[in-house]
Amino acid sequence: MNLCKINYSVFIITVTLSILYGDPCPSKCTNCDYDINGQVTKVVCQDVQIQTLPNSLTELWASDAHQPSIIPLGKFQTYFLTGKTQLRILSIRRYGIKQLVNGSLSICTNLIVLDLSDNLILSLPVGIFHDLNSLKSLNLSKNALTSLDSSTGLFSHLRSLTHLYLGFNKLTRINNSMFRNMTGLSQLGLESNRISTIDSDTFQAIHSLQTINLSNNTLTNIQSELFKGLSKLLRIEFNGNLLQILEQTTVIEPSVRLISLSSNKFTEIPTGFLQHLQNIQTEVNLAENQIRNIPAGSLDKIHLQKLNLSFNLIEFIQFNAFSDCTISELDLRFNHLKSLQKELEGNFLKINTILLDNNTWTCDCSLLWLVEFIKINQSNHSDPVCAEPVQYNGKTMISIATDLSSDCVPTTTQQSTSTQKIMTSSAGTTLTATGKIQISGPSQMTIEIGQIIPGMGQENSDGKISTPQNHPTSRRTTILVSNFTILPIPAKSETNSSSTEVHDSSSTNVGMIVGISVGVISLITVTTALVKFQPWKKIGRFNRVDVKNVE
């Protein structure tokens, strides 16, 4: 009777305390869950003695042991888990575990998830995982494993295992004996180890493998049959290795959607390899390599969803680099591109999205086609910023498109398809030509071509007329000049334009035709008749300039 009363009052007190002070979670634990009988089933603890926790646990999440006594000498022994047969999830991170004693996990036959990551484990005893028949996920990342006793099949009893994480250890070698019997494994993490070679047959047995991460190792090559037969494979990550080439014969099953090869040592696009990829939905990442250019044909017959070439050193794309390819998205950001030839426009139309930001674009007339292309197709492409010329520095292509096209489309003279005559004898006649004009004749003479529009060109003492450096270069134009004046070079002080004033234009009838090719360097080719000419005399003056577009 008395006992009952005492029990009853203890019950009342417990309930009252629970109400007043919240859940009776073990000390240092938060987030406890209970079953319908009030038994603790899940605890999330820091720095707790594992063996003092209730046996009813199905989930134990422990981390950050600060007391060295919690796992004495870093040895994880059988008694830590005594009685905890119900455990389905066991996660013990940052507990300073150095060693797992054989049998210490054998009680946990119901375990589904085991996470011992971020400890100091150096090696694993054979048989440590032998009883974990239900285990699906094993995380051993961030330990100090140097080798796994592969010959005896450390993991080969883990028939249910689908996820295995061994990243951030010190493994140097892996081979197929490590993965024997692991037919159900789908995710394999081996990143940030010191693996430098992988035998061709290493993953052969892992038929269900879907993703493999071998990033941040020291691999210099990939065996061409490493992935052969892995018909479920989706993602292959090899970022941050030392790869320079990939054999054309490397077998990649059509299931693969991502091949990530960023931060390696590629100096050119592995064309043969890419051409062998059979799935148009595949994405290939070659970012952060040392690729300098894209030669003609290097993307031909490549059919991909995405090709990432960002953060390379690409300066140059040859004009038919990707004339026959299907790529939905091409990332060329953060390269060293300044200009692209207009001939690439047709190539560009084959690509849904092209990202060209963060290059050093020179937005001059030779790039007008791209600026217009971007403007017209702006919904799909990025809007890159120009670096040069100064007036467009920091401005986006779309924002300068109108200005640039008016810079580059000259006055009426160029719009006429037929040859147009410009009479220089009439005052104010101008020769309109865009771009760098460099006109050279025999030395010691000046060739006068009407009036050079201010800012368009300037006369140099060597008889050349060239535009200021930052002036947009032009589309290709040929200008035919006839009946021109040749003047002796003016004295240095003589900067007065009077020296180029019109003189008696009828005094000569040279009838000479000189072709000026205006481009990056344009020349007036002076015909042989000119040689007969007396260049040191002021002889005559041209009165006609024919301007003709050449496409």
Ligand X SMILES: *[C@@H]1O[C@H](CO)[C@@H](O)[C@H](O)[C@H]1NC(C)=O
DSSP-assigned beta bridge partners for residue 514 = 481
Q: Residue ranges of the alpha helices (H) in 409-509?
A: 412-415
Q: Which of 69, 418, 461, 498 binds ligand X (CB under 6 A)?
A: 498
Is 95 a residue that touches ligand X (CB under 6 A)?
no
Is 500 a residue that touches ligand X (CB under 6 A)?
no
For ligand X, the closer of residues 277 and 480 by Cβ is 480
Q: CB within 8 A of 279, min separation 6: which ones?
A: 254, 255, 256, 257
Q: Which of 28, 98, 136, 159 binds ligand X (CB under 6 A)?
A: 159
Residues 369, 551: Cα–Cα separation, whole Å: 14
Residues 163, 134: Cα–Cα separation, whole Å: 12
The footprint of ligand X on this chain (CB under 6 A) covers a number of residues equal to 63
Residue positions counted in the chain: 551
Contact 132, 156 (CB under 8 A): no
Contact 527, 512 (CB under 8 A): yes
Q: Which of 99, 156, 282, 293 binds ligand X (CB under 6 A)?
A: 156
Q: Give the tokens for residue 437.
A: 């004009």
Q: Which of 147, 405, 429, 527 binds ligand X (CB under 6 A)?
A: 147
Residues 42, 34: Cα–Cα separation, whole Å: 7
For ligand X, the closer of residues 40 and 545 by Cβ is 545
Decide: residue 112, CB within 10 A, 0-12 exposed, 13-18 middle, 19+ buried. Answer: middle
For ligand X, the closer of residues 25 and 120 by Cβ is 120
Binding to ligand X, residues 296-335 (CB under 6 A): 308, 310-311, 328-329, 331
Residues 542, 509: Cα–Cα separation, whole Å: 9
Is 352 a residue that touches ligand X (CB under 6 A)?
yes
**Residue 547, helix vs strand vs coil:** strand
Q: Which of 42, 84, 142, 464 binds ligand X (CB under 6 A)?
A: 142
Which residue has tokens 């690729």?
A: 291
Q: CB within 8 A of 13, min separation 6: which ones?
A: none
Other beta carbons within 10 Å of 132: 24
User: To the nearest whole angstrom, how small is the minimum distance from the Cβ of residue 199 to ligand X?
Assistant: 7
Contact 247, 270 (CB under 8 A): no
User: To the nearest whole angstrom, how small is the minimum distance from the Cβ of residue 70 to ligand X?
Assistant: 18
**Residue 316, helix vs strand vs coil:** strand
Q: Which of 496, 528, 531, 551 binds ligand X (CB under 6 A)?
A: 496
Is 123 a residue that touches ligand X (CB under 6 A)?
no
Q: Which of 364, 372, 407, 546 binds ligand X (CB under 6 A)?
A: 372
Is 131 a residue that touches ligand X (CB under 6 A)?
yes
Is 192 a residue that touches ligand X (CB under 6 A)?
yes
Q: Which of 483, 485, 500, 517 binds ligand X (CB under 6 A)?
A: 483
User: To the nearest whole angstrom, how small is the minimum distance from the Cβ of residue 404 to ligand X?
Assistant: 14
What letter represents residue 139's amino acid?
Answer: N
Is 127 a residue that touches ligand X (CB under 6 A)?
yes
Alpha-carbon distances, residue 160 vs 110, 134, 212 (angstroms) = 12, 6, 18
User: To the nearest whole angstrom, how small is the minimum distance from the Cβ of residue 264 to ligand X?
Assistant: 12
Is 386 a residue that touches ligand X (CB under 6 A)?
no
Is 450 a residue that touches ligand X (CB under 6 A)?
no
Binding to ligand X, residues 195-254 (CB under 6 A): 213, 215-216, 237
Residues 388, 372: Cα–Cα separation, whole Å: 17
Binding to ligand X, residues 165-184 (CB under 6 A): 165, 173, 175, 177, 180-181
Instruction: Identify the sign of the CA torsion 165, 93, 96, 153.
Output: negative
User: To the nearest whole angstrom, how small is the minimum distance from the Cβ of residue 502 to ligand X?
Assistant: 11
For ligand X, the closer of residues 315 and 329 by Cβ is 329
Contact 393, 386 (CB under 8 A): yes
Q: Which of 97, 261, 287, 401 binds ligand X (CB under 6 A)?
A: 287
**One symbol per residue from 18 to 57: x for binding ligand X (CB under 6 A), - otherwise; what is it?**
----------------------------------------
Instruction: Identify the sign of the CA torsion 498, 504, 506, 508.
Output: negative
Q: Which residues bind ligand X (CB under 6 A)?
A: 93, 102-103, 106, 115, 117-118, 126-127, 130-131, 139, 141-142, 147, 150-151, 153, 156, 159, 165, 173, 175, 177, 180-181, 191-192, 213, 215-216, 237, 262, 285, 287-288, 308, 310-311, 328-329, 331, 349, 352-353, 357-358, 372-373, 376-377, 380, 385, 482-483, 496, 498, 505-506, 509, 511, 543-544
